[in-house]
Structure 1
């Protein structure tokens, strides 16, 4: 009897193990916009999570005009070092993988594009403006060697990759497939997942066969932290944060606290943006001039100087040939206008307060309304400002009538 039970137990054990659901899954994330430290951190964390969870595949839906070289290289290193296959899918239709996006796409274990997308134009550009010829040549040579090594590692077209850097060539998805720049063209994410089932690739773990058939797909969104950091990395948001600091700092404690927080967030943004420090100094000068206008009556000269300094500094603040790092005029003009109105109003209130006759002690009773607590004729009592005072009037005032203080005698 025991001999029969043991084989039956072993059979059930292996049957249940084979029938147990696999915890492997396909994780899909979306990377859209400029390649920044925030995007790099999000993709790196997603790869770490995929490796930890032993996911079957991490698929990145990419749409980027390019971005920071340091962030791009960080993403590429993470993809190459990943034990889990990483697919980069340039999608949806109308998306692009330009500049830094080309490197990221070519570094992936699987590279794919949607119809109506393009890839290319990877020539290095200095975010701060023009580079001299020697520096530009060095940067181009370095980028060309780097992208060729990535293409060769994945068995893709290294000659085209070099042209994308040196000649800024850009191609459509069908051309990319024909030239063996990418592996697949798919209409959507699900179609791509179906197509790559059974693909063999090399990861840091070794040779891996990607299995996608019947594997659950999970879409992962950036956390609140990444969303906030991504928002303040926008040059227009960084500019508004700085203006908010400017307008709230001269005020009371609470506005000053919020202004200081805004300034810290703005400085975080400046770490990822091509800040022109001459423009930043002009904006700081504008702040100084506006504050001096409150302290010194210059008949508007300091205010005009502040407006000009603010406008010129704003135009110079983010000096980059890259369109996604430029400050919008739709933000600059309202920002300068609102800041000017704020300080003009502040100056007006300050001047009004300065010209007002100072009142202290009982002198502040002048002009206040009260009530007669007794009949007042020459002498009597009135109730003013929560207190009973001795009053004098040339005309009779009956008890209970309203009175107004015309003058105060010590």
Structure 2
């Protein structure tokens, strides 16, 4: 589900998609989100205007029961499903109608190929200006569908804003789910069973994890990352964090960083220079909070997933000629014997051979043979058991690809 920033997040994402795709072929284009009567302030530039002219409840979601049961005895309002309706109009520089038709054709072509908005698109568009948005976490797919409006229906939209008609096209974007902000009705814990005297069944207030937040809104964690755990009752004494590798069944107990907040605690994954680094392995972890009040009184919270990605430390060659290529990569954390690795070369995937070093137990060297590479600049990623390395340098503004994960191929 998403919060009340969802509508703004959709508009921002569509605006970003249109700009990024159109600017590749047509220079000097502004993508705006003005009302129809204020869309064209001057005629000096090419302009595409994206206007949200209507919203309506999604019929399928409206048929859901208004009250949803989350747990036994806990009720909360169901999410609100919305359809968003956008009108896209175009304007050529200096009122050049041929140019405006070119812009319209580009937009139509774009959304003919792009029928849905992915979570990656939303996250990329909202990471800076709409950080509070969590629409990228919505599970329900968001589709883009062209509307078959008659000429009269289109005229009525323009007439409603006292604006002169322009060539345009309309789209429906659905479904957007906005979660209810009302407080959940949670019953109190049971103090006794069957109202009998004797032993009292006392339920403590256990820690509960609700979310794991990674830096830079990453989909997976990296060595050295600061991890924030959100939840309830996280300030109990004797608390620590347990992370368990889903495949290796290897657990690590971590003391959280100093905090007195009941709704959040933080841990830091060690980097390669720290001694505890060799306890961590690539893949899926289950994270839980453990409360140890006495030796015999140990309580455990629910589990949440955390993915640790591989990190490429060295890559050779950085430059090469077109033709067959042999890549050599070093990565951390070191791969385990049963873990499978692949190299992602641009949009292609290739198998690898891996080798560990006795003198460098914290590294794994991987080699990969690519039959034929052509001229260009390629981003190289490492995939281990379905988890990809992150090729982005988050320390630059704007973000850039890591130079040590890039290979330039020259023509012979």
What is the TM-score normalised by the length of structure 2? Answer: 0.23
What is the TM-score normalised by the length of structure 1? Answer: 0.23
Higher strand share: 2
Larger radius of gyration: 1
